[in-house]
Amino acid sequence: MEKRINSINIKSYRGLSELELNNLNRINVIVGDNNSGKTSLLEAIMLASNSSINNAIITSVLRTKMLRAGSFFNEFINSFPKDGKKYNISMNFEFDSGNKLNYEISGNMVRTLPNPMEIPQVFNTIKVPEQLIYQFNGNLLIDYAGGKAKNDIKLNAFNCLNNRTLKNKSNIIKARYVSPVDYAGVNSLFNLIIKNDKYKEMVVRVLRIFDPFIDDLLYVVDEFGEPIESVKSSKLGVVPLTIYGDGIKKTLSIAGGIAAANKGVLLIDEFETAIHIKNYDEIFNFVNDACKQFDVQLFITTHSIEAVDELLKIDELVKESEINFITLRKDFENNKTISRTMSAKDVKENRKNFGFEVRL
């Protein structure tokens, strides 16, 4: 399995077109105006991380979390660039191993009658329409490390949830995605933190910026035998994680994501969401140390110039040239996504001397 991405060339995916990113770093901060393609870039990395069509379907709903019948199909179709009736996703990756990946999904929409035998059991109460529906017919083409594979795709709103479970053998690089709203729910990666005592101590220390009385993270079994993610506080005792605010939950979701991305890639969309500016310094330092501990390559998006400035204060990252700032911009006239990559040292000097706006 690959460990690090060196370059990305996205020919077409969602709103991205002809985007080239080279010499990617250990930490890559993606900035740009609204609708410049920041989230789409993270999703493209998730898409290419696994060679199964199931992963393509699941990746398409990362930003919406839409899980009802039909939503998977609709969001999958929305992953294609909006250029008439052409359905094509195409991108190339190069890894630090020297291996290359060419990833392409192409096809067309047809009208067909739904097959009741193709409906997943979870939707067996849905009445199948006795009329023509839209179906995507196409192929998933993978050319990776000298080996080629072609998989036929036939998807409609009634069958796209079949066999959704991903198999590890399809993974090309381990990738985890943290969305701007992941903090709103219970942290599904909590167990990865508490089973590693050394890492748990590290996480507890950073959580004390929100509550200085936090002593431990643990599971408590409720009266129904269900494990409840909990916090031990010297002031409150043992309490459920749900009583705390979004800042702690967001930090835990990032911490769990780092552990899950061990020797792989972590993608954090809108890093600053739910985190107060006064806490950026300590949280960024924690993320940097944790990513080094787990050997994780980091891609984050941010709208905050304050977040950019706090990252520039981490002398280790600036001096050792371990962080890139990548600005994305749409060139509507030429139907391209153009990018500018700058080192932290250059951004810091230009911010200091000229008030440089890296986000534009």
What is the residue-level pLDDT of the chain in tens, covering all 360 positions? 999 999 999 999 999 999 999 999 999 999 999 989 999 999 999 999 999 888 998 898 888 766 555 678 888 999 998 766 689 999 999 999 999 999 999 999 999 887 766 665 545 555 666 788 889 999 999 999 989 999 999 888 877 655 444 455 688 999 999 988 876 555 568 999 999 999 999 999 999 999 999 999 999 998 888 889 999 999 999 999 999 999 999 999 999 999 999 999 999 999 999 999 999 999 999 999 999 999 999 999 999 999 999 999 998 888 888 999 999 999 989 989 999 999 999 999 999 999 999 998
Cβ atoms < 10 Å from Cβ of 278: 9
- Which of 125, 113, 148 has the alpha carbon at shortest distance from 68? 125
User: In the beta sheet, which residues pair with residue 221?
Assistant: 227
Q: Indicate the domain borders of the chain.
A: 50-172
CA–CA dist 144, 24 (Å, integer): 19
- Between the alpha carbon of residue 131 and those of residues 112, 113, 127, the distances in Å are 8, 6, 12
